[in-house]
Amino acid sequence: INKRDRNTFWAFGSETDEKGYLSKYSFKESIDDGATLRLHFEAVPVRLKIDREAISEAYQNLIDEHGLSDDERQKLAKRAAKTSVLLKSKDRVNAVCDHIAEHFQTKVAPNGFKAQIVTYDREACILYKRRLDKILDPEASTVVMSTQGGDPDEWNQFHRPRDEEEALLDRFRDPDDPLKIVIVTARLLTGFDAPILQTMYLDRPIKDHNLLQAICRTNRPYPDKTHGLIVDYLGIFDDVATALE
């Protein structure tokens, strides 16, 4: 981490190195050593079709439910079209999922690889799963996310004990298993190792070291795998370039 308020180099860096490095091992060195593969990035702009009636209805429901003051109403109005509403609009979810299904079936699955979808939040995970089940075999995908008391009943099907989740992830690692896609928002973005994972469909804003850790889920060597692929639905290439520096 190299920020003004949080800086690993200042806190733990070498006093003898000009930039504070204790040791350096670059992406290029890792690739040259065969420890990782190159990352390719594919931008896919998705037209945001905003459901204005749905936003207005949600806005009015919040006012009625919480009895907001005029000042609070004005603040809420400015935020009514916030990122979460836009990214989870029905038309946009359908457009993204339709593209994912077509892309996966034509460019990923034929090569024997699997994929991960990173969505905006837990609700988005469910929305994506619903849509994909209308296009692909329901067994082809699952959601991996944390659940808690008070969640909608539909979400509870994805509550799994640790041993059950590990068994599920082993199925994902198995090239012969019908489970081909895992849908996540925060889980499996760090520390998850599945070399068969080649493509990440990224539809959540992520930055800095979190972004770097996430995209590197795809660059593990695997037979006939030449690169990891990040399909970007939000235009985060600038953040990727910064994270890789």
The count of structural domains within the chain is 3
Residues forming beta bridges with residue 202, ordered by sequence position: 118, 232
CA distance 2 to 9: 7
Mean pLDDT estimate for the chain: 81
Find the domain containing 23 and state its range.
1-35
CATH code of 222's domain: 3.40.50.300
CA distance 189 to 144: 11
Beta-carbon contacts of residue 187 (< 8 Å; ≥ 6 apart): 144, 145, 146
Same domain, 61 and 129: no
Same domain, 177 and 74: no
In DSSP notation, 90-105 reads: HHHHHHHHHHHHHHII
Same domain, 4 and 113: no
Return the pLDDT at 65. Answer: 65
Each residue's pLDDT tens digit, 88-140? 889 899 999 999 999 999 999 999 999 999 999 999 999 999 999 999 999 99
Same domain, 20 and 115: no
Each residue's pLDDT tens digit, 53-93? 665 666 666 667 667 677 776 766 665 446 677 788 898 99
For 50, other C-beta atoms within 10 Å of its C-beta total 13
Same domain, 185 and 105: yes
pTM of the model: 0.76
CA distance 67 to 46: 36
For 118, other C-beta atoms within 10 Å of its C-beta total 25
